[in-house]
Amino acid sequence: MYCRDCGEKLSLRFLENEGLVPYCPKCEQFKFPFFPVAVLMLVVNRGENKILLARHAGEDVFKLFAGYLKKGESAEKAIPRELKEETGLNAVKWRYFGSRYHSAKDLLLLQFVVTADEESEIVCGEEIETARWCTPEEAQTLILKDSTAETFLLSALETLGKKK
Ligand SMILES: [Zn+2]
C-alpha cells in the first residue's frame, strides 16, 4: 500500500477511535482508504412480480443493473440516469436495500430495489445486449451464480415474499 499523494510506502498506525489506519511517514498524515461507489439495482415492475435482468454484450449470463456514481453525484441521481442509459426506462421509485463491499473490485455497492414501468419499451444502451422481464423463478435460474447479484436477488426476493 503506497501513498496516493507522494508514493511513499504506507504503514499502519493506531488512531484513537479508528483502530489501525494507513499512515504516510512522509506526508505525516493518516491516509484513509477510499474506493469507488456504485449502485446495484434490482429492477422490478409495479406489481413487484417481475424482475428485469440484463445480458451484457459478449456474455451469456444474466446480471442485475449496476453503475458507478459519477464524481459529485448522489445515488438518487445515479439510479434514474443509469436505468435510462441502460434500458431507456424511467425509474418510478426506489428504496434502499443495504450496502455491500465488493472486494473483487474494491467497490462499495449501494443496493436498491428500483421500480420501473413494465409497459414502456426497452431500448438497450451500448453495454447491454438484452434486457428481459422475468418471473422470480426465472430470475433465480438465470442470474449469474455465486455472484453479488445473486445474493442481492435472493435476499430481495425473500423480503418481497417472492422467493420459492
Ligand atoms: Zn505521502
The per-residue pLDDT for range 4-13, each reduced to its tens digit, is 999 999 999 9
Domain count across the chain: 2
As beta bridge partners, residue 8 has none
Q: How far is the CA of 28 from the centre of ligand 1 (A)?
A: 7
Check pLDDT > 70 for residue 139.
yes
d(CA 48, CA 123): 21
CB 88 within 8 A of CB 123: yes
CB 66 within 8 A of CB 55: no
Residue 79 confidence (pLDDT): 97
pTM (2 d.p.) = 0.86
Q: How far is the CA of 6 from the centre of ligand 1 (A)?
A: 4
d(CA 138, CA 156): 15
Question: What is the percent of the chain where pLDDT is above 70?
Answer: 99
| Conformation bin of residue 60: beta by default, left when phi > 0, alpha when psi is -120 to 50 | alpha
Residues 103 and 128 in one domain: yes
Residues 116 and 140 in one domain: yes
As beta bridge partners, residue 2 has 9
Q: How far is the CA of 24 from the centre of ligand 1 (A)?
A: 5
DSSP 118: T
Residue 162 confidence (pLDDT): 72
Residues 19 and 44 in one domain: no
d(CA 136, CA 19): 43
Residues 6+ apart with CB under 8 A from 8: 2, 24, 25, 26, 27
Residue 138 confidence (pLDDT): 95
DSSP 35: -
Q: How far is the CA of 5 from the centre of ligand 1 (A)?
A: 5
Q: 14 lies in which domain range?
A: 1-34
Residues 10 and 26 in one domain: yes
Q: How far is the CA of 29 from the centre of ligand 1 (A)?
A: 7
Residue 34 confidence (pLDDT): 86
Residues 136 and 107 in one domain: yes
Instruction: Give the model confidence (pLDDT) of 77-98 as tens digits.
Output: 999 999 999 999 999 999 999 9
Instruction: Give the model confidence (pLDDT) of 14-60 as tens digits.
Output: 999 999 999 999 999 999 988 899 999 999 999 999 999 999 888 88
Residues 56 and 26 in one domain: no
Check pLDDT > 60 for residue 113.
yes
Residue 57 confidence (pLDDT): 85
Q: How far is the CA of 137 from the centre of ligand 1 (A)?
A: 52
In this structure, what CATH number is given to the domain that contains residue 24? 2.20.70
d(CA 22, CA 11): 5
CB 110 within 8 A of CB 102: no
Q: How far is the CA of 160 from the centre of ligand 1 (A)?
A: 48
Question: What is the percent of the chain where pLDDT is above 90?
Answer: 82
